[in-house]
Amino acid sequence: MQNHGRTGAAIPDTRGVPLPTRGSGVHVLERRPRPDPLARSPFRGKPIIEFTPQQLERAGYRAAGTGSAPRTKKAAAERTRTVDPRRVPPAEREAIADAYRAGSTIAAIVEEGGRNVRTVRMILREAGIVIDTTRRSHALTAEQIDQAVALRGEGLTVNEVAARMAAPRETIGRALRARGIHGNVSRLPKFDHAAAVADYLAGGSSVDVAAKYGVSSASILHAVKAAGHTPRQPGRNHKRAIPADEVARMVDLYVEKRLSIPAIAQQLGRGNATVRRNLLVAGVTLRDDRASNSGGGNRHPDSVLRAAGELYLTGLTRDQVAERLTIGIRAVDKGIALVGATPRPAANIAGAHTGHDTLGALRDLMAANDITAADVRSWANRTGRDCPPRGFPSRALVEDYLLNLPAERRSA
Q: Kindly write down the DSSP assignment for every residue of 233-259, as one continuous string.
A: ---TT--PPPPHHHHHHHHHHHHTS--
- Do residues 163 and 194 both lie within one domain? yes
> Residue 231: CB partners within 8 Å, gap ≥ 6?
200, 206, 221, 224, 225
**Other CB atoms closer than 10 Å to residue 385's CB: what's the count?**
16
Question: Among the three residues 343, 371, 397, which one is the final residue of a domain in this structure?
Answer: 343
Mean pLDDT of the chain: 75
Environment class of 243 (CB within 10 Å of its CB; exposed 0-12, middle 13-18, buried 19+): exposed
Say if 133 falls within a structural domain.
Answer: no
Residue-wise pLDDT for 78-122, tens only, equals: 556 777 877 888 888 888 888 888 777 787 787 777 778 888 888
Asked whether the beta carbons of 157 and 148 are under 8 A apart, the reply is no
Say if 312 falls within a structural domain.
Answer: yes
Q: What is the pTM of this model?
A: 0.24
pLDDT score, position 378 = 85
Residue-wise pLDDT for 20-30, tens only, equals: 665 555 555 55
Asked whether the beta carbons of 305 and 336 are under 8 A apart, the reply is no
CA distance 294 to 340: 28
Say if 39 falls within a structural domain.
Answer: no
- Do residues 157 and 115 both lie within one domain? no
Asked whether the beta carbons of 335 and 328 are under 8 A apart, the reply is no
Say if 200 falls within a structural domain.
Answer: yes
Number of domains observed in the structure of the chain: 5
Residue-wise pLDDT for 50-84, tens only, equals: 767 766 666 666 555 444 444 454 555 455 677 78
Is pLDDT above 70 for 148?
yes
- Do residues 320 and 375 both lie within one domain? no
pLDDT score, position 252 = 92
What average pLDDT score do residues 355-376 get?
78
Residue-wise pLDDT for 312-348, tens only, equals: 888 888 888 888 888 888 888 989 988 888 888 765 5
CA distance 191 to 210: 10
- Do residues 335 and 367 both lie within one domain? no
DSSP 85: G
Residue-wise pLDDT for 214-256, tens only, equals: 888 888 888 888 777 888 876 544 556 678 888 899 999 999 8
- Do residues 277 and 307 both lie within one domain? no
Say if 292 falls within a structural domain.
Answer: no
Say if 233 falls within a structural domain.
Answer: no
- Do residues 375 and 317 both lie within one domain? no
Say if 238 falls within a structural domain.
Answer: no
DSSP 387: -
Question: Among the three residues 195, 226, 257, which one is the final residue of a domain in this structure?
Answer: 226
What is the distance of C-alpha 229 from the center of its chain?
Answer: 29
pLDDT grade for 185, boundaries at 50, 70 and 90: very low
- Among residues 295, 276, 296, which one has the least CA distance to residue 286? 276
Domain that holds residue 102: 55-126
Say if 22 falls within a structural domain.
Answer: no
CA distance 71 to 64: 10
